[in-house]
Chains A and B, each alone.
Chain A
Amino acid sequence: MPKKTKDEILHDHNNDGIDRRGFLKCMAWAGTGVLCVMEGGILKSYSLSRPGAIGAREMAGELSFVQLSDSHMGFNKPANPDVAATLKAAVDKINGLSKPPEFMLHTGDISHLSKPEEFDTVDQILKGASAKDVFFVPGEHDVLNDDGKSYLERYGKKAKGAGWYSFDKKGVHFIGLVNVLNLKAGGLGTLGHEQLEWIEDDVQHLKHSTPIVVFAHIPLWSVYPEWGWGTEDSAQALAYLKRFGSVTVLNGHIHQIMQKVEGNVTFHTAASTAFPQPQPGKADSPGPMKVPAEQLKSVLGITDVNYVQGRNALAVVDSTLA
């Protein structure tokens, strides 16, 4: 079978049922320094490696927050033998932002093997960040041994079901979802019936104009189903969000930056703070990608999101750790 190109991936495997009219796509790979701007879209992203592209208008806003992902604390293989150091570098980057972000989102794979000491280390490192609050959703590496019970005890005391929840900040409605449990043989990420019903109920009272930010570990769009990079029932969840003017979906899992706009929805995956993974179909498997030590930080990163009230737009800024 021939290797797939990026375009084939996007067109062939998007069976998520969303309206394709006005489809815009833009992908920026971590480490390549690609600047990605969607004209007339909702999401704008600028690489911090080109700070000249970020003017005062982009930085001004009512709300800014940072997305961290895939810290994999406990991983110690050649792809990155010191994931604690690179997470600390991410925190330094956050602390170096001109304005402290309101809070942080962590989109899962906090730990590598769900060990308490791995979670402890991450919690400890994140305490050093200028933003104090962290909102987590689990990755599959965080729920390895007990179907997520110990994860829930630590991070999900106020959450519903297997750890999903929502909250409001300055007029933006945030929804944290869990799509890494009860995975079926041959399948993709799963939200499940109970969570889908909760989503429908959760957004029922909101005005159409409310900006929505959904965050979950595995992408809620079909990035590359062959590698399990998608969620079986995400179309149902997105259907409940169709009436909203601005929906931003933030995911992790694939350890690289990728973006796409479909109708009212902007999808965005964040880089890992631990190790990079190959582009879809560009390797035999999605295993950790080994890059020379001096290049590692250029393929790791954080995402800074800035919400400007009145413009109903979220500016997503990806920043590498280099």
Chain B
Amino acid sequence: MIRKSVCIVGLFAMVMVATLLLSAASPGSPAKAPQAASAEVKVDNFSFGPATLTVAVGTTVSWTNRDDIPHTVVSTDKVFKSKVLDTDEKFSFTFAKAGTYPYFCSIHPKMTGSVVVQ
């Protein structure tokens, strides 16, 4: 009976420690576990804004179509390709390697942009 109580106390202590460790890794202290970076490109008025976006390696870039007309986000070098984005639809891509990634809207090819990954 006594032995069992000790076990329960021990288990409780372990849970406490685990909880403390977990909270240490939460957004409150970002230094220990870096958050995945993200960036936004607005597709508006038949243009990409910003037209050139510079991000760090590992960044996830999201494009949201704010036009009344559908658009696409297609890498000129075939690195990424969205499906057709109707109004308010979104496409995301994570850039794992450094480099310059030009892209365009395959429906309105005058719409061009580029992501610079450093």
Contacts and interface: CB of A to CB of B under 8 A. Distances in A.
Contacts of B69: 287-288
A228 B108 contact: yes
A288 to B, nearest CB: 5
Contact of B68 (A114, A284, A288): A288
21 contacts: A75-B68, A140-B107, A140-B108, A141-B107, A145-B83, A183-B109, A185-B76, A185-B102, A185-B109, A186-B104, A186-B109, A188-B109, A225-B110, A227-B110, A228-B110, A284-B46, A285-B46, A285-B67, A286-B46, A287-B46, A288-B68
A187 B106 CA distance: 10
Contacts of B83: 145
A186 B84 contact: no
Contacts of B84: 113-114, 144-145
B70 A113 contact: yes
Contacts of B86: 113
Interface in A184-219: 184-188
Contacts of A225: 110
Contact of A187 (B67, B72, B109): B109
Interface of B: 45-47, 67-70, 72, 76, 83-84, 86-87, 102-104, 106-110, 112
B75 to A, nearest CB: 9
Interface of A: 75, 77-79, 112-114, 140-141, 144-145, 183-188, 225-228, 284-288
B70 to A, nearest CB: 6
A183 B68 contact: no
Contacts of A227: 46, 110
Contacts of B68: 75, 77-79, 287-288
Contacts of A187: 109-110
A77 B86 CA distance: 11
B65 to A, nearest CB: 12
A228 B109 contact: yes
Nearest to B69: A287
B45 A285 contact: yes
A141 B107 CA distance: 8
Contacts of A75: 68
Contacts of B104: 185-186
A287 B105 CA distance: 14
A114 B47 CA distance: 22
A276 to B, nearest CB: 13
A140 B47 CA distance: 17
Which of B72, B76, B107, B112 neighbours the largest number of chain A CB atoms within 10 Å of its CB? B107
A144 B102 contact: no
